[in-house]
Amino acid sequence: MPPTRTPSSARSIETIVVDGLALAKSIRSELAEEIAKLTASGARPPCLAVVLVGDDPASRSYIKGKQRACGGIGMRSVEHLLPAETSQGEIIALIDRLNRDDSIDGILVQLPLPDGISAAAVARAVDPAKDADALHPNTSGQLLAGTADLISCTPLGIMAVLDHYGIPIEGADAVVIGRSNIVGKPVSLLLQQRHATVTMCHSRTRDLPGICRRADIVVAATGRARMVKADWIKPGAAVIDVGVSEVDGELIGDVDFEAVQGIAKLITPSRRGIGPMTITMLLRNTLHAYRARLGV
Ligand code: GUN
């Protein structure tokens, strides 16, 4: 697909704005073909179970998007909506049932969970063989060892974007801002496995702008709107913006998107950037788990 280029009269670099939706669609059509072949040969379609606790409107809309994406590639999905007052024991009991249900291949528990529920305990309850979200400690341990089959969805989506747009990773200086279990830590491992020199930054990092300025690849995953400024970015760097904050009804990334135009070589927008890739990698993981479980 042709990249969108943003012309800039005052600056020398034309910044590529990543079309995450187009890339996601092309990967999803490959996954759909795989599933069509499997079902044509008599296998049942893969199935993802999505669990939502509480009625956070953003989470509800995210899980709808995930289920729509399943349907779009011929994958089944089942939804379990639990009230916000559900106890941790009741959530884990549901996960146990899904673990034992042979018709379920992947399990995703949407985060954040209500106060008082341990996300770590819930992640541990998921059968590692069905860990489509790759949050079980066994799965993250395998990622650390470089032996994981199921890999966190957003980090996997980030790597696919870098590869699709031909960003060199080997030997690159990569700076990851944010050390979450879901993005910062796993993406730093994936970049390291591909021989980048990775610096992990966080809220206590001294001279964050100075460290960022050395980076060929910046991954911003803090959820702090427009915190990464244009003068933190080395000309020609690839900037992956994972953050999404709502400011006055508008979705804003961690990076000052407009200001880095003409400086960065590539940037992901807040809409149609990394989001569709995350969902696509959830589908990929579910299909992967299904194939491994069924031996097909
Ligand atoms: N909430 C926001 N992103 C994610 C994700 O990738 N997985 C889950 N389970 N919850 C999320």
- Tens digits of residue pLDDT in 140-157: 999 999 999 999 999 999
What average pLDDT score do residues 186-192 get?
A: 98
Spatial distance between the Cα atoms of 252 and 223, rounded to a whole number of angstroms: 9
What's the pTM value of the predicted model, to 2 decimals? 0.95
What average pLDDT score do residues 198-205 get?
A: 97
DSSP letter for each residue of 184-200: HHHHHHHHHHTT-EEEE
Spatial distance between the Cα atoms of 254 and 223, rounded to a whole number of angstroms: 6
Shortest-distance Cα residue to atom 3 of ligand 1: 111
276 Cα distance to chain centroid = 9
Name every protein residue with a CB atom under 6 angstroms from any ligand 1 atom: 108-111, 133, 153-154, 182, 278
Spatial distance between the Cα atoms of 50 and 63, rounded to a whole number of angstroms: 7
112 CA closest ligand 1 atom index: 1
pLDDT at 9 over 70: no
pLDDT at 30 over 80: yes
66: closest CA among 45, 84, 50?
50
Ramachandran category for residue 75: left, alpha or beta (phi over 0 → left; psi -120 to 50 → alpha) = beta
**Residue positions annotated with a catalytic role:** 66, 110, 133
pLDDT at 12 over 90: no
* Cα of 59 from ligand 1 centre, angstroms: 8
Phi, psi of 275 (to 5 degrees): -50, -55
Residue-wise pLDDT tens digits, 232-286? 999 999 999 999 999 998 999 999 999 999 999 999 999 999 999 999 999 999 9
* Cα of 243 from ligand 1 centre, angstroms: 12
Structural domains in the chain plus CATH codes: 43-127 (3.40.50.10860), 152-276 (3.40.50.720)
Averaged pLDDT score across all residues of the chain: 96
* Cα of 111 from ligand 1 centre, angstroms: 5
Helix, strand or coil for residue 24?
helix
What the block records as the tokens of 243 is 């953050």
